[in-house]
Amino acid sequence: MKKYLTILCSATVITSLCLSGCGINEKKTVDKNKVTLENAQKETPQKETTIQKTTTQETVKDLNDVENIADLNLLADHKWLEVEGGNLSGHREPNVIVDIGYGDRDYYAITNEYGQLVAVFAEKIILQDDDSEPVLKSGRYYSDEAKVPGTESPTLDEGHVIADSLGGVSNAYNITPQDSKVNRYGAQSDLESAIRKAGGCTDFSAFITYPDTKTQTPNHYSIEYTIDGQTYYSDFENAS
């Protein structure tokens, strides 16, 4: 487990992930005047493994000293879940952590107690490699994406949080029902293009918010990533 995963264990963020699918924005505040690609200037058959360690929150004084996500009891109720990258089932298990990186990539998705995809983290985004990976003519690793409830709508795409071109898989832990214009021509498309143009990025994080605990269709995305030492934010609604 790479050391970067420790940042996702910030007490305020993870507490909101574990307790609610709708409270992330209350814990992670962003100046919306800065959250654009142009002007951001800020100065991650199914097999389960239960997290075992129980270090108390009070003892974790310096997150840089934490080597493993399992060292924090804030995610003690979460399980590691292995899901095939091309699994088309739209069902998500609650309170799990899933690797959604194709091949050896380490991209991690987290669900809350309602099975909603609420966060994705990657220490390093590694672009798709057409020469060494089995990429289809469509530019994708798989011929289809997971059928997450909501994607049946004619106005919602099976939207990747981390695109195929950025090394993401197509199962339900990397797919949300996303407004087709946002996905194809809007904020989601723009940030993916910026990362591709740069040849990848580091410190990628996505926080996904829902209007209630029943739906699998988000209403808001807050995405952060770093290119050449510059941190960028993309903060947008799931609507055109």
For the segment 108-163, what is each residue's pLDDT rounded down to a tens digit?
999 999 999 999 999 999 998 988 888 888 888 898 999 999 999 999 999 999 99
Other beta carbons less than 10 A from residue 159's beta carbon: 24
* Lowest-pLDDT range of 65-69, 88-92, 115-119: 65-69
- Give the per-residue pLDDT at 214: 97
| Residue 73 pLDDT > 70 | no
Residue 114, pLDDT score:
96
Instruction: Note the pLDDT tens digit of each residue in 96-109.
Output: 999 999 999 999 99
The CATH number of whichever domain residue 120 belongs to comes to 3.40.570
Q: What is the mean pLDDT of residues 39-67?
A: 35
Summarize pLDDT for 168-224 with one digit per residue, the tens. Answer: 999 999 999 999 999 999 999 999 999 999 999 999 999 999 999 999 999 999 999
Report the Cα–Cα distance between both ends of the chain, in Å, rounded. Answer: 37
pLDDT number for residue 10: 44
The phi-psi region of residue 67 (left if phi > 0; otherwise alpha if psi is between -120 and 50; otherwise beta) is: alpha
For residue 74, the model assigns a pLDDT of 54
Bigger pLDDT: 45 vs 205: 205
Task: Give the per-residue pLDDT at 233.
Answer: 96
CA distances from 112 to 5, 17, 22, 23, 64 (A): 17, 6, 10, 11, 25
**Residue 224, domain extent:** 3-237
Query: pLDDT confidence of 75, banded at 50, 70, 90?
Result: low
**pLDDT on residue 6:** 47
Q: What Cα–Cα distance (Å) separates residue 180 from each residue in 14, 205, 238?
A: 29, 22, 9
- Smallest Cα–Cα separation from 161: which of 110, 89, 95? 110
Helix, strand, coil share of the chain (percent; to 5): 25, 25, 50
- Per-residue confidence band for 59, with pLDDT thresholds at 50, 70 and 90: very low
Total domains present in the chain: 1
The more confident residue out of 58 and 18 is: 18
Question: Within the chain, where are the H helices?
Answer: 11-19, 24-27, 180-184, 187-198
Are the beta carbons of 151 and 177 closer than 8 angstroms? Answer: yes
Asked if pLDDT for residue 47 goes beyond 50, the answer is no
- d(CA 160, CA 206) in angstroms, rounded, equals 11
Residue 139: predicted pLDDT: 83
